[in-house]
Copies of this chain bind each other. A is one copy, B any other.
């Protein structure tokens, strides 16, 4: 398709739809803006989990079973780390460690994350533009009901999302600049797709970066629900909503984005939610949003692109 599209994405779910879009669009017409709020320093390495998941997925290098990490990877380093008494809860693969080592070295040498990512993508053969939401270090913090403030990976991986959440903070967000070219990409695209990622911890950080909401205000934005029948395919979204005493439905997702979206894509299982969503003035597309395999990614991407196109002004 000839459309210019920007996708906002977090980890595995977002990466899968981004991969579908990558297959459906001319690669130069796709920009994926990726959450970096869950970036962290681990064993001295600057790790960008969502960015890697999106890059690896588009490059065809992702582990097909987990969705994160690299295919054909091993865990010899991580086993040695454990043996030596180091923290081994973040499962760093051996191949993946190569990425982390070189990224860390280049960041320490003063290079920007966006420049490093562009270079990595060229080496991995990814022709779409993948942008971290910022070159500044932003840290998503999870507030828990027992009054702790956890780093995202501590909450998500180490504590396996067990703590009950009461809110989220994006430390460093006020001073963070959008990465170079990101706002221009939004301004010059036909429409923006919010991928089926966690609104609280994957999409909100992106939306909170300076100038992003203003740029989106003029755009046709559509969101793909990350919930089917109130459940997330992966991750703690449904649990988070219950802990925040909000019912996890596609209506809830719609409300979350209501100020910025024109269209909403929900699963056929949630068809009964359509009327309430459309009552917000938001046009709804019903389809099968589960991406079970690679062909599903493209199928959903094409449906989303067709839906988005239908929402554009005729001129």
Contact = CB atoms under 8 A, between A and B. Distances in A.
Interface string A136-176: 00000000000000000000000000000000000000000
A29 B62 CA distance: 51
A84 interface: yes
A98 B123 contact: no
Contacts of A81: 98, 101-102
Interface string A95-127: 111110110110010000000000110011000
**Size bracket, chain A contacts:** 20 to 34
A284 interface: no
A79 to B, nearest CB: 7
B98 A85 contact: no
A58 to B, nearest CB: 16
DSSP majority for the A interface? helix
Contact of A98 (B83, B93, B99, B120): B83
A74 interface: yes
B120 A94 contact: no
A24 interface: no
Nearest to A82: B98
A121 to B, nearest CB: 11
A77 B108 CA distance: 19
Contacts of A79: 95, 98
Contacts of A292: none
Given A74-B74, A80-B97, A95-B80, A102 B120 contact: no
Given A80-B97, A81-B98, A86 B105 contact: yes
Nearest to A46: B44
A77 B104 contact: no
Residue of A101, A102, A124 most packed against chain B (CB within 10 A): A101
Given A84-B123, A120-B84, A123-B85, A77 B97 contact: yes
A62 to B, nearest CB: 14
A211 interface: no
Nearest to A109: B44
Contacts of A73: 76
A76 B95 contact: yes
A61 B93 CA distance: 21
A80 B108 contact: no
18 contacts: A43-B101, A43-B102, A43-B104, A44-B101, A73-B76, A74-B74, A76-B97, A77-B95, A77-B98, A79-B95, A80-B96, A80-B97, A80-B98, A80-B102, A84-B99, A84-B119, A86-B105, A97-B97
Interface of A: 43-45, 72-74, 76-81, 83-86, 93-99, 101-102, 104-105, 108, 119-120, 123-124
